[in-house]
Amino acid sequence: MLKLVDLTVGYGAFHATHGIALEVRAGTVFALVGANGAGKSSTIMSIAGHTEVHGGCIEFDGQDITHLPINDRVRRGIALAPEGRRLFADLSVAENLMLGGYARPRAEEAANRDMVLDLFPRLRERLDQRAGTLSGGEQQMLAIGRALMAGPKMLMIDEVSLGLMPKAVDICYAAIARLRERGITVLLVEQSTKRALEAADDVCVLESGRIVWSGTAAAARQDPAVIEAYMGLAGDGAHG
Ligand SMILES: Nc1ncnc2c1ncn2[C@@H]1O[C@H](COP(=O)(O)OP(=O)(O)O)[C@@H](O)[C@H]1O
Ligand SMILES: [Mg+2]
């Protein structure tokens, strides 16, 4: 579904990744893990079209999307729940969802909204509440829900569990499992490995912009110490 080939991305003269290669299979959950500053966000932001590509290419659904505008990527089925949520704090839950689905036909928008509210009943109870007044966990649900309103083939979530209460982490990971059952591919980013390794089919560990380990999550679970070692101090699993 997604293939990064020798991908170098960054900011001006600065390279945040150095020729990374990975492949996300359709219908699977892929975890991109690594310590703070490893280049995880830069990588997924480049897939969404927000970070400059300095070299290599990004293929999605068999097509080169390296230089496509952001909206074209959304239309092809790539959605992003960004780090820090980036919700419209003064707008309601319902309005935030509506903005995520603006590019879809009416009928599809309604179906996507039903799917999101079915996935996160908590949001249904709070449709009229301002996004800025939601708890951190509810905001993460809304960020994921808003991304799903675009009806993506692949959903990318940056820092699923960072700063969330354990209960909210459970809800988000349960949603990821259900999306996988529905055939939606998920590319998730995490600083804490435990939940990511449980949820994923495939894993890749990023360190200083380079892939230092990749393989199946089953293999990673057999030897978590190896993964933790690559992740350094930030991989202490503090978020569960
Ligand atoms: N907007 C930016 N401008 C310049 N450098 C940045 C920017 N965003 C991130 N970086 C740098 O890119 C590197 C990777 O950051 P990032 O992709 O955010 O890592 P992670 O998501 O793994 O914590 C870091 O050295 C960071 O300082
Ligand atoms: Mg990040």
Lowest model confidence (mean pLDDT) among 142-146, 231-235, 236-240:
236-240
Instruction: Determine the atom of ligand 1 nearest the C-alpha atom of 51.
Output: 1
The larger pLDDT score, comparing residue 166 to residue 85, is at 166
Work out the mean pLDDT of the chain and round it to a whole number. 93
pLDDT exceeds 60 at position 127:
yes
Domain span holding position 41: 2-235
- Tell whether 229 is covered by a domain: yes
How far is ligand 2, taken at its centre, from the CA of residue 41, in Å? 4
pLDDT exceeds 80 at position 234:
no
User: Does the pTM exceed 0.75?
Assistant: yes
The pLDDT-based confidence of 88 (bands split at 50, 70, 90) is very high
Write down the pLDDT at residue 232: 64
Report the SS3 class of residue 193.
Answer: helix
Burial (Cβ within 10 Å: 0-12, 13-18, ≥19) of residue 76: middle
Write down the pLDDT at residue 107: 83
**Nearest Cα residue to 192 out of 20, 30, 32, 25:** 32
pLDDT exceeds 90 at position 237:
no
Give the CATH number of the domain where residue 227 resides: 3.40.50.300
Write down the pLDDT at residue 106: 80
- Tell whether 149 is covered by a domain: yes
Write down the pLDDT at residue 104: 77
Q: Tell whether ligand 1 has an atom less than 6 A from the beta carbon of residue 41.
A: yes
How far is ligand 1, taken at its centre, from the CA of residue 229, in Å? 21
Write down the pLDDT at residue 153: 97
> How far is Cα of residue 193 from the mean position of the Cα atoms in its chain?
15
- Tell whether 240 is covered by a domain: no
Q: Tell whether ligand 1 has an atom less than 6 A from the beta carbon of residue 191.
A: no
pLDDT exceeds 80 at position 210:
yes
Query: Domain tally for the chain?
Result: 1
How far is ligand 1, taken at its centre, from the CA of residue 14, in Å? 9
Within 8 A by CB and 6+ apart from 168, the residues are 135, 136, 137, 138, 140, 141
Instruction: Determine the atom of ligand 1 nearest the C-alpha atom of 38.
Output: 22
- Tell whether 106 is covered by a domain: yes
The pLDDT-based confidence of 105 (bands split at 50, 70, 90) is confident
- Tell whether 227 is covered by a domain: yes
The larger pLDDT score, comparing residue 57 to residue 234, is at 57
| Mean pLDDT across 112-125 | 96
The DSSP symbol for 211 reads: E
- Tell whether 223 is covered by a domain: yes
Exposure string for 167-185, b = 16+ CB within 10 A, e = fewer: ebbebbbebbeebbeeebb
- Tell whether 69 is covered by a domain: yes
Percentage above 90 pLDDT, the chain: 85
Instruction: Determine the atom of ligand 1 nearest the C-alpha atom of 34.
Output: 22
